[in-house]
């Protein structure tokens, strides 16, 4: 575990020796540097941000942003019509998206199972 983006290079260098099957990268570390390091050290990396996969990460699994925005708009509408925010129910995301970067999978020499490819919401080729 690391506490900041400045520790990433050392962490990836250490992982190269122990070869994990994959790593989960937190959004607070940024997008470009962790993605580049994962490719440099040939370690499959996933994150919760679709943008991570668009930058070259292997895969992301996250709540659907358009769905969250629609639900947010519904809450704003209720509040503007007089509802008290404290009385509105808490909601959890119900729609999730899987994005897979096939270019990265190929660069890492990985074969993504067909069953996962069929379930993906977006494939980056």
Give the tens place of pLDDT for each residue, 2-58. 777 778 888 888 887 888 889 888 777 766 788 888 888 899 999 988 888 998 999
CA distances from 14 to 22, 41, 102, 115 (A): 13, 10, 26, 32
Instruction: For the beta carbon of residue 52, count every other beta carbon within 10 angstroms.
Output: 28
In the chain the domains, ranked by start, together with CATH numbers, are 5-124 (3.40.50.2300)
Q: How confident is the model at residue 72 (pLDDT cuts 50, 70, 90)?
A: very high
The two structure tokens encoding residue 3: 């506490």
Helix (H) or strand (E) holding 26: none
| CA distance linking residue 38 with residue 95, whole number of Å | 28
The whole-model pTM stands at 0.80
């Amino acid at each position: 575990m690391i506490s900041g983006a400045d520790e990433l290079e050392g962490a990836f260098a250490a992982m190269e020796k122990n070869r994990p099957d994959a790593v989960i990268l937190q959004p607070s570390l940024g997008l470009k540097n962790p993605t580049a390091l994962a490719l440099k050290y040939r370690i499959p990396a996933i994150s919760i941000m679709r943008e991570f996969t668009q930058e070259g990460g292997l895969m992301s699994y996250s709540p659907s942003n358009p769905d969250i925005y629609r639900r947010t708009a519904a809450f704003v509408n209720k509040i503007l019509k007089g509802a008290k925010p404290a009385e509105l129910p808490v909601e959890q995301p119900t729609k999730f998206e899987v994005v897979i970067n096939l270019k990265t999978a190929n660069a890492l020499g990985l074969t993504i199972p067909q069953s996962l490819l069929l379930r993906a919401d977006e494939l980056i080729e």
